[in-house]
Amino acid sequence: MFFYHPPAWIGEVPVRVSALFMFFSPKLSRNRWLWVLLFIAYSIFAARYWYYIDNHQYLITYWVGVCFISTLFKNRIQVLKINAHLLIVLTFLFALFWKFTSPDFLTGDFMQYHLLTDFRMQYINTALVGNTPEQFLDKKLLLKYLSIEPTLNAKITLDNAPRLHTVAMVMTYLTLIIELLVLLSFSLKNFPLFQKTKDYVLQAFILALYTFIPVTGFGFILAILGIAQLEPGEKKKFGLYFLAIIVMQLASHFSILDIVSRDLSV
């Protein structure tokens, strides 16, 4: 909770205050009234900015709700474990459903557009596609202008790099493959192979994606869900999830991606 909170006072203040109390008192971390406060704060924020917030902020709200509900049961840890596993499965199930039913994703157009316009992917664009930072900035300025002065008669072409489509297609289908592996691993966790490897697959997904594309909130909540569904004694897996959280935090503050995004933000 210290690492991530809704970017508005209505969520930030209750989250920080509650997290501070919970951090210094394990007893308070099980206090249902503090979890109610957090759940209300996140719910109000999600409702207020429903059409603007990222998908992972809904997921965080669901998880905070689960944490509150778990305080109503004696077997609180089991409630958290079951729901964490369920949320991971549903997250990747719906993610894959959206991707497979979206023609612009399967054709690579979605990834291609974000490679050209999303500041979080600008470094990948420069390194793999060959677009210069100046070209990327030109596109950002053009899109910003069109958002201010929209016109149906305007037509722009963003694709001007020969390797862009190839890179977009590779990233598209690598994303599909690893998300499918995560879904299968957690859905079929009772099979010995998946029982041993499911957490490593999720950790690989988190580190491979969110270290280079710093959507810290999504990586953070996936790591927390991964920790929550672990069996007692799985210390190595716990350590790897915790390491993933630290790496994501460092990457969001000190990586080249972060430096580039600050320089090119408009």
The pLDDT assigned to 142 comes to 53
- Residue-wise pLDDT for 203-220, tens only, equals 999 988 887 776 778 889
Q: What is the Cα–Cα distance from 21 to 24, expressed in whole angstroms?
A: 6
Average pLDDT of span 3-9: 52
Contacts of 86 (CB under 8 A, 6+ apart): none
Q: Are residues 127 and 245 in the same domain?
A: yes
Same domain, 80 and 124: yes
The answer on pLDDT for 51 being more than 60 is yes
The larger pLDDT score, comparing residue 58 to residue 12, is at: 58
User: Quick one: pLDDT at residue 265?
Assistant: 45
User: In a 3-state reduction of DSSP, which class is residue 213?
Assistant: coil
Whether residues 34 and 103 share a domain: the answer is no
Tell which of 53, 72, 91 closes a domain. Answer: 72
pLDDT digits (tens, 9 = 90+) for 116-169: 777 666 666 665 666 655 555 555 555 554 555 555 555 555 555 667 778 888
Counting every residue written for the chain, the total comes to 266
Higher model confidence: residue 52 or residue 226?
Answer: 226
Same domain for 59 and 78: no
Give per-residue pLDDT as tens, 63-122: 999 999 999 998 999 999 999 999 999 999 999 999 999 888 998 888 887 777 776 666
**Nearest residue to 94 (alpha-carbon basis) of 62, 119, 51, 69:** 62
Host domain of residue 25: 1-72
User: Which has more pLDDT, 243 or 121?
Assistant: 243
Arithmetic mean of pLDDT over the chain: 79
Same domain, 216 and 123: yes
Question: Do 222 and 125 fall within a single domain?
Answer: yes
180 and 216 inside one domain: yes
End residue of a domain, out of 72, 102, 132: 72
Check whether 199 has a pLDDT greater than 60: yes
Listed ranges 42-46, 53-57, 201-205, 262-266; the one with the highest mean pLDDT: 201-205
Give the range among 39-43, 86-90, 260-264 with minimum mean pLDDT: 260-264
120 and 247, same structural domain? yes
How far apart are alpha carbons 105 and 179 in whole angstroms? 14
Q: Are 123 and 240 in the same domain? A: yes
Q: What is the pLDDT of residue 185?
A: 94
68 with 123, same domain? no
Q: Within this chain, do residues 95 and 213 fall inside the same structural domain, yes or no?
A: yes
Residues 46, 81 within the same domain: no
Nearest residue to 63 via CA among 13, 104, 135, 15: 15
- Tokens 């023609």, residue? 103
Does 239 score more than 90 pLDDT?
yes
How many domains, the chain?
Answer: 2
Choosing from 16, 39, 72, the residue where a domain stops is: 72
